Amino acid sequence: MIQLHNLVKNYGHFQAVKGVSLEVQKGEILGFLGPNGAGKTTTMRMLTGVIPPTSGTATIDGFDIFDSPLHVKQRIGYLPETPPLYFDFTVKSYLEFVMKIKQVPNVDRKQNLTWAIEKCGLVDVQKRLIGNLSKGYKQRVGLAGAIINKPKVLILDEPTVGLDPKQIREIRSMIQELSQEHTIILSTHILPEVAMICDRAAIIYQGKIVMNDVIANITKEKSLEEVFIEIISKEGAES
């Protein structure tokens, strides 16, 4: 479903992403891990077409991000760390606006709106202004906007950051449910979250993938947190 081959991003003389290669299978949840500045967000922004790669290739559902950017964007739902919400919109009017931007066919809009609102637990607040909602509900609105066009791929950047424990559990539950219909890349600093809901984990450090394996293999003898710290410490000592 998702294939990255030798993806590179340079900013002047600084190389933020150094030849990343990854595959994510249909229906899989990939935990994309790394310390701050490792290249996670840059990689995800390249995948979603927000920024162009310097070199390398990537395909989503068989479409190349260079050759078929519109086809790729139609197949992706992207939730950045801070969802781009309009606080003076109601939840319903905002999602209707997002459907127009994403060119959801008119015939599908009513059904998609109802589906996204119910899926993200927004039925009771759909007529409220987004600016008056709690952090947790704003995150739900962002997630609803990401899935409103029923994309095949979801790319979620720190979807539970800043939420309280109850809200975190609710968002995790939603992500697990969405994996039945979507392939998901999940970036997070909460390592137990990855161990609980992801099928596979890829660790990026200084722009390079330093581990990529299924969760069961990674955590056979140690916790994901212990493995993560060991890998980053080792890579840091060798660099």
Q: 90, 127 in Cβ contact below 8 A?
A: yes
How high is the pLDDT of residue 35? 87
Residue the block writes with tokens 């539970």: 160
Show me where the domains of the chain are located. 1-75+153-239, 81-150
**How many other C-beta atoms are found inside a 10 Å radius of the C-beta of residue 85?**
18
31 beta partners: 186, 201
Percent of the chain with pLDDT over 70: 99
> How many Å apart are CA 133 and CA 140, to the nearest integer?
10
How high is the pLDDT of residue 189? 79
Element holding 7 (H helix, E strand):
strand 2-11
pLDDT (mean) for 101-107:
93
pLDDT digits (tens, 9 = 90+) for 165-181: 888 888 888 888 888 88
How high is the pLDDT of residue 133? 95
Q: Which of 219, 178, 185 is nearest to 202 (CA)?
A: 185
pLDDT digits (tens, 9 = 90+) for 146-155: 999 999 999 9
Res. 235: pLDDT tops 90 = no
pTM score, two decimals? 0.87
How high is the pLDDT of residue 179? 83
Res. 162: pLDDT tops 80 = no
Res. 239: pLDDT tops 70 = no
pLDDT (mean) for 49-67:
90
How sure is the predictor about 191, in pLDDT bands with cuts at 50, 70 and 90? confident
Res. 160: pLDDT tops 90 = no
The DSSP bridge pattern shows strands 208-214 and 55-60 to be unpaired
Rounded to 5°, the CA angle 65-32-62 comes to 25
Percent of the chain with pLDDT over 90: 56
Res. 192: pLDDT tops 90 = no
How high is the pLDDT of residue 112? 96
Element holding 186 (H helix, E strand):
strand 183-187
pLDDT digits (tens, 9 = 90+) for 122-132: 999 999 999 99
> What architecture is domain 1-75+153-239?
3-Layer(aba) Sandwich (3.40)
The DSSP bridge pattern shows strands 76-79 and 63-64 to be unpaired
